[in-house]
C-alpha cells in the first residue's frame, strides 16, 4: 500500500505492508534480515489507543513513527534489534509506522509532519 509523509523538505513516499490482524501485528517485522529504504509496515488501530512496541525477535533497527488521529506524527523512536524494552507512543495514536532505522533522520522526517495513507 502506498504511504506518503509530508515534511518540511518535501514528500517521502513509501510502500508499506498493513498489519491488520492481531496475528500480523504480533509478528510485525520479526525475523526479517533487511528492509528496503522506502519500505515499511503500518499497524492501524481502531479506536485510537496508547501503543507499546518492542523489538523481540526483530533483527534490524527500526524507526517507529507514532501517528495521531489527525495524521500528524506524535513521535519517532529508533529501536535497536532484539531490544525488549517497551517503546511507548506517549499519546493516543491511530497507527504506528515502522521503517528502516535511521531513515526518518536521513529524510528529515520529524514529529508534527503529516502522514497520508488509505485506511
Q: Structurally, how many domains does the chain consist of?
A: 1
Q: What pLDDT score does 118 carry?
A: 82
CATH number at residue 99: 2.60.120.1140
Query: For residue 71, which phi and psi values (nearest 5 degrees)?
Result: 90, -5
Question: Residue 85's pLDDT is what?
Answer: 96
Tens-place pLDDT, residues 25-80: 999 999 999 999 999 999 999 999 999 999 999 999 999 999 999 999 999 999 99
Structure confidence at residue 83 (pLDDT): 97
Write out pLDDT tens, residues 4-22: 999 999 999 999 999 999 9
Structural domain boundaries, residue 23: 2-117
Amino acid at each position: 500500500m502506498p504511504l506518503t509523509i509530508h515534511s518540511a523538505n518535501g514528500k517521502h513516499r513509501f510502500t508499506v505492508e498493513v498489519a491488520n490482524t492481531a496475528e500480523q501485528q504480533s509478528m510485525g517485522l520479526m525475523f526479517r534480515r533487511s528492509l528496503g529504504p522506502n519500505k515499511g509496515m503500518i499497524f492501524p488501530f481502531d479506536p485510537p489507543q496508547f501503543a507499546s512496541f518492542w523489538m523481540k525477535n526483530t533483527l534490524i533497527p527500526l524507526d517507529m513513527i507514532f501517528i495521531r488521529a489527525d495524521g500528524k506524527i506524535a513521535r519517532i523512536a529508533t529501536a535497536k534489534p532484539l531490544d525488549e524494552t517497551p517503546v511507548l507512543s506517549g499519546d493516543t495514536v491511530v497507527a504506528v509506522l515502522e521503517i528502516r532505522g535511521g531513515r526518518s533522520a536521513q529524510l528529515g522526517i520529524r514529529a508534527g509532519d503529516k502522514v497520508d495513507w488509505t485506511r
